[in-house]
Amino acid sequence: MIHPSALKEGGLPLVACCVSAAEHSSVPITVHFDHGTSKLELMEAIVLGFDSLMVDGSHLPFKDNISHTKYISFLAHSKGMLVEAELGRLSGTEDGLTVEDYEAKLTDVNQAEEFIDETDIDALAVCIGNVHGKYPSSGPNLKLDLLKDLHALSSKKGVLLVLHGASGLSAELIKGCIERGVRKFNVNTEVRKAYMDSLSRPKSDLIHLMASAKEAMKAVVAEKMRLFGSSGKA
């Protein structure tokens, strides 16, 4: 999963490396462009070889989100790409971008039906109290009843549900989300923390430092794959 900041910071070689690694992998790997907001960066992602992309128009008024997502969805589908979009707005911080609590908004079921019908998306990222980054000390407060209603709608439409902000969720909450239709979880904070924690421990050489950091991240990813039920499914 590659964030738009990678493109802004001259990350085209990184994208090419990821696409090549996926093509030569012994297991199926999807290279996903996450949280694309502008039309320019999304159109760039369409021609760079990604398998799927996320159209994030959650900052736009509802009707503008529809038209923005519909346009990109049409272009991406013409290239055989899967399209994820977001309805509602998550609070929290990701890659330096912060959405305050007062800006956050839960996904509306009635709006979701119109949004899915109009945009022809393949997956919908929902806002049910999940946040980017760290949850408050009181813990997550996910609206599982809302998720159940969204699943009842999306399953009829053939659209998968996505939950961003899965870092810090308990095994019980993850199970509840899976039972209510979530088929993709986004985890970022815990993976980054494992990397940074590893860097803070003394190493004898730069090579050992980087190797240790990568192993720390791999351990978190492996744990999440088991938790999400995707381990051994390739």
Q: Strands of 32-36's sheet, edge to edge?
A: 32-36, 52-55, 82-87, 123-126, 160-163, 182-185
79 HSE (CA, 13 A, CB side): 19
DSSP, residue by residue, 93-131: EETTEEE-GGG-BPPPHHHHHHHHHHH--SEEEE-SS-E
Whole-angstrom CA distances from 182 to 60, 76, 114 are: 24, 23, 20
Dist. CA 122–CA 161, nearest whole Å: 9
**Contact predicate 15/47, CB 8 Å:** no
Sequence-ordered alpha helix ranges (H) in 24-121: 39-47, 62-78, 109-119
Token duo for residue 231: 């381990």
CA angle 168, 217, 231 (to 5 degrees): 75
Task: Return the active site residues.
Answer: 34
Residue with tokens 């369409």: 46
